[in-house]
């Protein structure tokens, strides 16, 4: 099974500042045949279902603000919120879809400082 490890567990960032969340997989999620990283990022707010933000490590879903960006390849990935807004307070989780069992990181709670 591919283990997904996120860091930090939580972070507090001032409004308008940058938030950076890291995600590491225990084995590569880069498929050599198509050069795609099988990695997604979700935003999860209390009382709501998780929302898909980014797939293929760096492709934003339609309607996701461009302050959210994903980067990385192989085993190391980053989600960056370039200018934190109040509505971005949530838990963010990475997830690999390279192989079953599908696995999530433990989540990173983002708060306002």
Partner 1 sequence: EVQVVESGGGLVQPGGSLRLSCAASGLSLSTYWMNWVRQAPGKGLEWVANIKQDGSEKYYVDSVKGRFTISRDSANNLVYLQTNSLRVEDTALYYCVRSRGWIMDVWGHGTTVTVSS
Residues lying near partner 1 in the complex (CB under 8 A) are found at 1, 38, 40, 42, 44, 48-52, 55, 61, 91, 93, 95, 97, 100-107
Please identify, using beta-carbon distances, which residue of 16 and 63 lies nearer to partner 1. Answer: 63
Q: How far is the CB of 7 from partner 1 (least distance, A)?
A: 14
Handedness of CA 14, 42, 22, 61 (dihedral sign): negative
Please identify, using beta-carbon distances, which residue of 74 and 82 lies nearer to partner 1. Answer: 74
Angle of CA points 19, 25, 31, to nearest 5°: 110
How far is 23 from 84, CA to CA, in rounded Å?
Answer: 19
Q: How far is the CB of 30 from partner 1 (least distance, A)?
A: 14
Tokens of 97: 């879809």
Please identify, using beta-carbon distances, which residue of 16 and 62 lies nearer to partner 1. Answer: 62
Please identify, using beta-carbon distances, which residue of 55 and 75 lies nearer to partner 1. Answer: 55
Q: Where are the alpha helices (DSSP H) in the chain?
A: none
Q: How far is the CB of 106 from partner 1 (least distance, A)?
A: 5
Name the strand (E) or helix (H) holding 111: strand 108-112
Q: How far is the CB of 104 from partner 1 (least distance, A)?
A: 4
Distance of CA 1 to the CA centre of its chain: 19
């Amino acid at each position: 099974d591919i283990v997904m490890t996120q860091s930090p567990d939580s972070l507090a960032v001032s409004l308008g500042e940058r938030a950076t969340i890291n995600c590491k997989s225990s084995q590569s999620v880069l498929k050599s045949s198509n050069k795609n990283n099988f990695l997604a990022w979700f935003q999860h707010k209390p009382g709501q279902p998780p929302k898909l933000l980014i797939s293929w490590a760096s492709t934003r879903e339609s309607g996701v603000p461009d302050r959210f960006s994903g980067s990385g390849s192989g085993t190391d990935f980053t989600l960056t919120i370039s200018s934190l807004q109040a509505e971005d307070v949530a838990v963010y989780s990475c997830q690999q879809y390279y192989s079953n069992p599908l696995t999530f990181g433990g989540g990173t709670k983002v708060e306002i400082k």
